């Protein structure tokens, strides 16, 4: 299948296919847009069923990073890379080093970071072959301690800030005590979001396909566990998707009882029209790439000069961005997803 005829091809500037047979590397690096600066986005590793599936994922995710980075007003463009393989069985040091070499060959047009299927230690191995990586250095925090380059804490904090703004706009309250929240996915981001909500006094329901993640969330958060498919049917105020994409679709949207959808998962809408489907039901949707931008803000600052106070302030601007989206969507009578796209395009197409 030609890249140019792919439904997800969107005038991408560059799509690179990287192969190292000896190391077992098969990867795709997609640079979507560099109008605001070098393309930045995570390095995903996944056992795709076909190469076409991997191409589609790279194209879609890289385009999403352009919109996310522009909406967050960062001096970077959008890109993404995918490694075809099972991260639990196929990942080796040789493969990671080969991926670093593939990124180096782009000469800085693409800057990678950890993503689904890769970790900070993995990216540090890649860094032996390229300098064009981020999210790998220890960072200071506002309380004076240090943490790893893992951007998930910033992602979770940004989601919490954004969720509060969505609740204020839709439910007219700044108080989260007693708020009923269903969290789908309790990995590193979902669990941290749950901690913020627990500390604020919210009631939590959680689900995860990995039993260990679910057990930890129940223990640490005092949350109620539910089966994965049951999470859509709960009588809650907020549904927080923090796992897979495409989970807002023709089947799940009619089942939602929540007034707000605000979570960290990427590509939550199965199709663009599902943003309007949510609006038609009176459900306020916090566009995923607006609310989950904390992680990319964190890794971007690592490249341009990290300052914990500045990063925290920038992440907190997610609330103002969402407020603008919500207000424009209401005044123009369109979905928040449409407004988020328009606002991002204003920032990278000007």
Domain boundary among 105, 136, 167: 136
Which pLDDT score, from 0 to 100, does residue 1 have? 58
Domain annotation covers residue 249: yes
Domain boundary among 136, 157, 183: 136
Which pLDDT score, from 0 to 100, does residue 144 have? 64
Asked whether residue 308 falls in the same domain as residue 235, the answer is yes
Domain with 330, as residue range(s), is 147-348
Asked whether residue 91 falls in the same domain as residue 174, the answer is no
Asked whether residue 166 falls in the same domain as residue 232, the answer is yes
**Is residue 336 marked as binding?**
no
3-state secondary structure of 128: coil
Domain annotation covers residue 128: yes
The predicted model gives 13-30 an average pLDDT of 98
CA 243/CA 51 separation, integer angstroms: 23
The predicted model gives 217-229 an average pLDDT of 97
Determine how many CB atoms are found less than 10 A away from the CB of residue 334.
15
First-to-last C-alpha distance (Å) of the chain: 32
Asked whether residue 313 falls in the same domain as residue 263, the answer is yes
Residue 4 scores a pLDDT above 90: no
Residues in the chain: 350
Asked whether residue 46 falls in the same domain as residue 70, the answer is yes
pLDDT tens digits along 313-322:
999 999 999 9
Distances 133 to 16, 137, 289 between C-alpha atoms, Å: 17, 10, 21
**Is residue 158 marked as binding?**
no
CATH code where residue 189 lies: 3.40.50.720
Which pLDDT score, from 0 to 100, does residue 212 have? 95
Asked whether residue 15 falls in the same domain as residue 107, the answer is yes
Asked whether residue 80 falls in the same domain as residue 185, the answer is no
**Is residue 190 marked as binding?**
yes
CATH code where residue 104 lies: 3.40.50.10860
Domain annotation covers residue 340: yes
Which pLDDT score, from 0 to 100, does residue 111 have? 98
Asked whether residue 85 falls in the same domain as residue 200, the answer is no
Residue 7 scores a pLDDT above 90: no
3-state secondary structure of 191: helix
The predicted model gives 276-292 an average pLDDT of 98
Domain annotation covers residue 142: no
**Is residue 112 marked as binding?**
no
Which pLDDT score, from 0 to 100, does residue 123 have? 97
**Is residue 186 marked as binding?**
yes
Q: Which residues, listed in sequence order, are joined to residue 25 by a DSSP beta bridge?
A: 20
Asked whether residue 294 falls in the same domain as residue 239, the answer is yes
197-211: string of b/e by CB count within 10 Å (b at 16+)?
A: bbebebbbbbbbeee
| Percent of the chain topping pLDDT 70 | 98
CA 2/CA 8 separation, integer angstroms: 11
CA 262/CA 240 separation, integer angstroms: 5
Higher pLDDT, 329 or 139: 329
CA 61/CA 160 separation, integer angstroms: 23
Domain annotation covers residue 23: yes
Q: Which of 141-145, 178-182, 204-208 is least confident?
A: 141-145
pLDDT tens digits along 118-170:
999 999 999 999 999 999 988 777 666 777 778 899 999 999 999 999 999 99
Which pLDDT score, from 0 to 100, does residue 116 have? 86
Asked whether residue 130 falls in the same domain as residue 196, the answer is no
Start-end of H helices in 135-238: 152-171, 188-199, 211-221
Which pLDDT score, from 0 to 100, does residue 236 have? 98
pLDDT-based confidence at 244, cuts 50/70/90? confident
Asked whether residue 169 falls in the same domain as residue 102, the answer is no
Residue 350 scores a pLDDT above 70: no
Domain boundary among 96, 116, 136: 136
Which pLDDT score, from 0 to 100, does residue 148 have? 73
The pair phi, psi for residue 14, each rounded to 5°, is -160, 135
Q: Which residue in 26, 80, 91, 139 is the catalytic one? A: 80
Higher pLDDT, 88 or 147: 88
The predicted model gives 78-93 an average pLDDT of 97
- Total domain count, the chain: 2
Asked whether residue 227 falls in the same domain as residue 336, the answer is yes
User: Does the annotation count 80 as an active-site position?
Assistant: yes
The predicted model gives 213-241 an average pLDDT of 97
**Is residue 185 marked as binding?**
yes
């Amino acid at each position: 299948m030609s890249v140019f005829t792919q439904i997800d091809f969107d005038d991408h500037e560059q799509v690179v296919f990287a192969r190292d047979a000896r190391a077992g590397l098969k990867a795709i690096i997609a640079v979507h847009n560099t109008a605001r600066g070098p393309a930045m986005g995570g390095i995903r590793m996944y056992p795709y069923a076909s190469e076409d599936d991997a191409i589609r994922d790279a194209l879609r995710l890289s385009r999403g990073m352009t919109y996310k980075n522009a909406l967050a007003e960062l001096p970077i463009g959008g890109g993404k890379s995918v490694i075809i393989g099972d991260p639990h069985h196929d990942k080796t040091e040789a493969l990671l080093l080969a991926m670093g070499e593939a990124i180096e060959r782009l000469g800085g047009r693409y800057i990678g970071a950890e993503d689904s299927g890769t970790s900070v230690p993995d990216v540090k191995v890649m860094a032996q072959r390229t300098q064009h990586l981020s999210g790998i250095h220890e960072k200071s925090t506002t309380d004076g301690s240090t943490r790893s380059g893992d951007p998930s804490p910033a992602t979770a904090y940004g989601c919490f800030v954004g969720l509060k703004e969505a609740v204020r706009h839709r439910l007219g309250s700044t108080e989260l005590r007693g708020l009923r929240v269903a969290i789908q996915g309790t990995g590193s981001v979902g669990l941290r979001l749950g901690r913020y909500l627990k500390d604020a006094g919210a009631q939590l329901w959680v689900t995860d396909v990995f039993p260990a993640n679910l057990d930890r969330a129940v223990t640490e958060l005092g949350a109620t566990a539910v089966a994965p498919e049951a999470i859509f049917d709960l009588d809650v105020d907020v549904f927080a998707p923090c796992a897979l994409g495409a989970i807002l679709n023709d089947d799940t949207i009619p089942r939602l009882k929540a007034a707000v959808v605000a979570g960290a998962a990427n590509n939550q809408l199965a199709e663009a029209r599902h943003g309007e489907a949510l609006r038609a039901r009176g459900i306020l949707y916090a566009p995923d790439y607006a609310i989950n931008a904390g992680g990319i803000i964190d890794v971007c600052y690592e490249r341009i000069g990290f300052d914990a106070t500045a990063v925290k302030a920038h992440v907190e601007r997610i609330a103002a961005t969402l407020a603008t989206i919500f207000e424009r969507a209401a005044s123009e009578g369109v979905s928040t997803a449409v407004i988020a796209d328009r606002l991002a395009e204003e920032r990278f197409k000007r």
